[in-house]
Amino acid sequence: MILNNQIITDIKINNVNDLYKLKSFWEDGTLKINKSQIARELEVDRRTVDKYIKGYSKPKSRKCRDCITPFYDIIEELLSDRNQQIFYYRKVLWQYLVDNHDFTGTYCNFCNYLKKYPEFDSYFRKNKTSNTNSVTIRYETDMGKQAQLDWKESIPFILSSGETIDVNIFVLLLSYSRFRIYRVSLSKTQDILFSFLDDSFFITIHQLSSKKLNYISEYYNV
């Protein structure tokens, strides 16, 4: 009887990928293998040594699980016209799912798979504003010369009770420092306007005075 057996004579082990060479010796028991010693020399876990001796090889490509499919119905509802909330950015939607629906996928993986669903990807492309054709020229003046006043009027705001109210935002912008002051009101009466202006002038003077005092203190080291 002639027995053919493939014997590996080169058993030099440099890393875990070479441990498959010990498999035949481990299976027929011709060589006693000290897995703990191998693990110490390769600086890996003993279970890793056992796994690679049995023929394990690390896959060349990593298979990522589609994290969108289990949450498809939820995402579809959130991005539908029936939902009053608008998600302008993918990260806001991802954070909402994490906080409210126990979503565990990473943000990078979430964005990659979201692009594979045209109905979801088109939602964010539609809400993305483009400013390629508009150029904003920054208007500047000398210090203390001018401030720009603007009202953001009748902005719908949904309360926690579900009631919708209109709010108005007062914005005062100093043309030199670009310092902004914001105030919110439910009306736009003259009294409200004058009150916001008085408050803004007081804050502006206080800010300038504080900076001047800090400059004097630093200059004279007092």
Q: What percent of the chain has pLDDT over 70?
A: 74
Please report, to the nearest 10 degrees, the dihedral formed by the alpha carbons of residues 128, 131, 132, 137 taken in order. -170
- CB under 8 Å to 148, separation ≥6 — which residues? 139, 172, 173, 175
Same domain, 162 and 215: yes
Q: What are phi and psi of 129, to 5 degrees?
A: -85, 140
On the question of pLDDT at 222 being above 70, the answer is no
pLDDT at residue 201, rounded to an integer? 82
Same domain, 122 and 180: no
Confirm whether 5 is domain-assigned.
no
On the question of pLDDT at 10 being above 50, the answer is yes
On the question of pLDDT at 2 being above 70, the answer is no
62 confidence band (pLDDT: 50, 70, 90): low
Same domain, 120 and 153: no
Residue of higher predicted confidence among 1 and 85 = 85
Please give the residue range of the domain that contains residue 183. 147-220
Same domain, 151 and 216: yes
- CB under 8 Å to 55, separation ≥6 — which residues? 20, 23
pLDDT in tens, 107-162: 988 988 888 888 888 888 875 555 555 555 556 677 767 888 888 888 888 777 87
Confirm whether 188 is domain-assigned.
yes
Confirm whether 158 is domain-assigned.
yes
Confirm whether 134 is domain-assigned.
no
- As given in the structure block, the two tokens for residue 171 are 């914005």
Given a contact cutoff of 8 angstroms between Cβ atoms, the answer to whether 103 and 94 are in contact is yes
- Domain count along the chain: 3
Given a contact cutoff of 8 angstroms between Cβ atoms, the answer to whether 186 and 168 are in contact is yes
- H-run or E-run covering 183: strand 180-185
pLDDT in tens, 65-113: 678 888 999 999 888 888 877 888 888 899 999 988 888 888 988 988 8
pLDDT at residue 125, rounded to an integer? 82
Same domain, 76 and 48: no
pLDDT at residue 38, rounded to an integer? 81
pLDDT at residue 220, rounded to an integer? 43
- H-run or E-run covering 184: strand 180-185
Report the chain's mean pLDDT, rounded to a whole number: 77
**What number of residues does the chain have?**
222
CA distances to 59, 92, 188 from 106, in Å? 21, 13, 45
Confirm whether 63 is domain-assigned.
no
Q: What is d(CA 1, CA 134) in angstroms, rounded to the nearest whole number? A: 89
pTM beyond 0.85, yes or no: no
pLDDT in tens, 153-192: 888 887 778 788 888 999 988 777 788 888 889 888 889 8
Q: What is d(CA 217, CA 210) in angstroms, rounded to the nearest whole number? A: 10
Residues pairing with 184 in the sheet: 169
Same domain, 45 and 75: no
